[in-house]
């Protein structure tokens, strides 16, 4: 409820846009039906992962293990050259499968070194390998592509994906922007490891996720090699490009930190970034060991974006963050990044938890208690945006970043805390993150987990706070 509530208002824009979204729905549903038709039951991978909020995100029939992305970008012409090498396993016999890719020109595809045929259909890149893939078969798809990447406009009006800036690009892909810059199975259910080879003009820096393996300058261009070895959802990948000051160090816990800061934001960012090691140490104490080997920050100047994103190992900020935002995005490393949702409807598992981390940080660092934060929110009148819908059911992709998801999501956790007591509550937070590390978690699993840990029936509490419309009556 700190900085985020002001954003949806600025981001949710015109009626025009809403019409466009409505018009797009039948197409998406039709595509899903085609994917689920008789042919699909046989050998055609479906066009979506089955998420009603983003029906065409992700694809059926295979599971990606690794993305090898080689990307060259020229900020001046805004031209991108890409080659994606995707290693996957077929989960069914496949005569055909889809990748998600929006815009850009595909110049060639091979599957296991044999030329494959393909066609484009909106965000679906439909691939027909020369030889059908057997169920269980490992295969490798190579896609070469190029063009001028354009961000997508989300149903809430915000930009998402490859967003050009005055000196490069701000790359933040939640929920569906990964397809604007690489072909992917772009749904959080399919996590994979990544290697990035990013080439930009000398003097620019290209920052991705994970550990920097090396950088080399030749013929006026610099190539940065990054490795994200822990599994990552496509929406958490970044390849942000700009003129950055770079700082690198290793924390006492052995985490490799890489901070890239737009010099115009450096003075404002410095006092906050200085706290990163202590924020990570504090979060590790509360949530359990930091889940990745790398950490850091990308502080860009991208005023057209209006939000920060918890890109894995290294959040991106559209301007110098305040401390609370730093705490929020890094809390997502546990909640969202390491433990990932399986459908966008469960977004409160990300935003409610990261927001509650802000409350806890304040409480334990001389600020307001979480109870006080809860109380002042609870005092909001029934007509307030806070009570517009229950956080367990945002209703559509247009509302996943609205106030109830963040604030009432955090209030739900506070209600859990007061019901089970601090000892059990902090045990739940920590063991949830540990149990589901590098994996997924659902709302139903979290409720069962909390009930099991506390020995209490929490059905009413969660039903009231997550699923019931309007302001809950007794706080």
What residue ranges bind ligand TRP (CB under 6 A)? Answer: 4, 7, 11, 154, 156, 158, 174, 307-310, 328-329, 351, 401
Candidate segments 48-56, 188-196, 349-357, 374-382, binder of Zn ion by CB under 5 A:
349-357
Pick the closer one to Zn ion by CB: 346 or 351. 351
Residue in 342, 341, 339, 336 with CA at minimum distance from that of residue 355: 336
DSSP state of 303: T
Interhelix angle 348-364/276-287, nearest 10 degrees: 110
Pick the closer one to ligand TRP by CB: 3 or 456. 3
413 binds Zn ion (CB under 5 A): no
Pick the closer one to Zn ion by CB: 94 or 276. 276
Geometric angle at alpha carbon 159, from 156 and 165, rounded to 5°: 160
> Smallest gap, in angstroms, from Cβ of residue 354 to Zn ion?
4
Candidate segments 37-45, 111-119, 246-254, 346-354, binder of Zn ion by CB under 5 A:
346-354
> Smallest gap, in angstroms, from Cβ of residue 267 to Zn ion?
25
Residue 7 interacts, among Zn ion, ligand TRP, none and using kind-specific CB cut-offs from 5 to 8 Å, with ligand TRP
Instruction: Report d(CA 98, CA 360) in Å as an integer.
Output: 43
Give the neighbor-by-neighbor strand order of the sheet with 117-121: 97-100, 124-128, 117-121
Q: How far is CA 308 from CA 256, 311, 316, 387, 396, in A?
A: 21, 9, 6, 24, 21
The helix, strand and coil proportions of the chain, stated in percent and rounded to the nearest 5, come to 35, 30, 35
Q: Quick one: which of 354, 357, 377, 400 contacts Zn ion (CB under 5 A)?
A: 354
Tokens of 263: 């010099």
Pick the closer one to ligand TRP by CB: 111 or 309. 309
294-299 and 316-317 strand pairing: parallel
How many residues bind Zn ion, per CB under 5 A? 2
Pick the closer one to Zn ion by CB: 258 or 307. 307
Instruction: Report d(CA 45, CA 63) in Å as an integer.
Output: 11
> Smallest gap, in angstroms, from Cβ of residue 1 to Zn ion?
12
Residue 167 interacts, among Zn ion, ligand TRP, none and using kind-specific CB cut-offs from 5 to 8 Å, with none
Pick the closer one to ligand TRP by CB: 98 or 351. 351
* Interacting residues with Zn ion (CB under 5 A): 351, 354
């Amino acid at each position: 409820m700190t900085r985020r509530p002001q954003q949806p208002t600025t981001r949710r824009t015109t009626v025009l846009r809403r019409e466009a979204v409505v018009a797009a729905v039948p197409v998406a549903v039709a595509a899903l039906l085609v994917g689920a038709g008789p042919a699909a039951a046989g050998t055609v991978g479906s066009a979506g992962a089955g998420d009603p909020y983003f029906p065409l995100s992700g694809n059926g029939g295979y599971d990606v293990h690794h993305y090898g992305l080689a990307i060259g970008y020229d900020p001046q012409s805004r031209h991108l050259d890409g080659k994606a090498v995707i290693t996957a396993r077929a989960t069914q016999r496949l005569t055909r499968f889809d990748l998600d890719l929006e815009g850009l020109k595909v110049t060639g595809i091979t599957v296991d070194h044999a030329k494959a045929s393909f066609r484009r259909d909106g965000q679906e890149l439909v691939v027909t390998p020369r030889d059908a893939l057997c169920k269980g078969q490992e295969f490798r798809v190579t896609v070469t592509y190029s063009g001028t990447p354009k961000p997508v406009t989300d149903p809430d009006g915000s930009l998402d994906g490859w967003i050009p800036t005055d000196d490069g690009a701000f790359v933040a892909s939640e929920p569906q922007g990964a397809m604007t810059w690489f072909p992917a199975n772009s749904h959080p259910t399919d996590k994979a490891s990544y290697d990035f080879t990013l080439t930009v003009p000398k003097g620019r820096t290209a920052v991705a996720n994970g550990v920097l393996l090396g950088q080399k300058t030749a013929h006026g261009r610099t190539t940065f090699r990054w490795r994200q070895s822990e599994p990552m959802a496509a929406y958490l990948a970044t390849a942000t490009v700009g003129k950055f000051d770079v700082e690198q160090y290793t924390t006492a816990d052995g985490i490799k930190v890489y901070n890239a800061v737009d010099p115009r934001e450096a003075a404002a960012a410095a006092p906050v970034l200085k706290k990163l090691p202590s924020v990570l140490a504090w979060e590790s104490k509360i949530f359990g060991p930091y889940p990745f080997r790398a950490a850091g920050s990308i502080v860009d100047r991208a005023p057209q974006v209006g939000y920060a994103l918890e890109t894995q190992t290294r959040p991106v900020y559209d301007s110098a963050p305040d401390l609370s935002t730093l705490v929020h995005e890094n809390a997502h490393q546990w909640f969202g990044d390491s433990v990932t949702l399986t459908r966008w409807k469960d977004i409160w598992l990300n935003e409610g938890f990261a927001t509650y981390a802000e409350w806890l940080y304040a409480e334990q660092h001389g600020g307001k208690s979480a109870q006080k934060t809860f109380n002042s929110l609870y005092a909001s009148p029934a007509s307030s945006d806070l009570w517009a819908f229950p956080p367990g059911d945002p209703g559509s992709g247009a509302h996943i970043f609205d106030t109830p998801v963040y604030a009432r999501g955090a209030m739900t956790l506070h209600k859990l805390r007061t019901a089970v007591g601090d000892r059990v509550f902090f045990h739940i937070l920590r063991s949830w993150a540990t149990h589901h590390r590098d994996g997924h978690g659902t709302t139903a699993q979290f409720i069962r987990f909390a009930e099991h840990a506390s020995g209490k029936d929490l059905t009413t509490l969660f039903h009231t706070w997550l699923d019931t419309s309007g302001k809950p009556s007794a706080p």
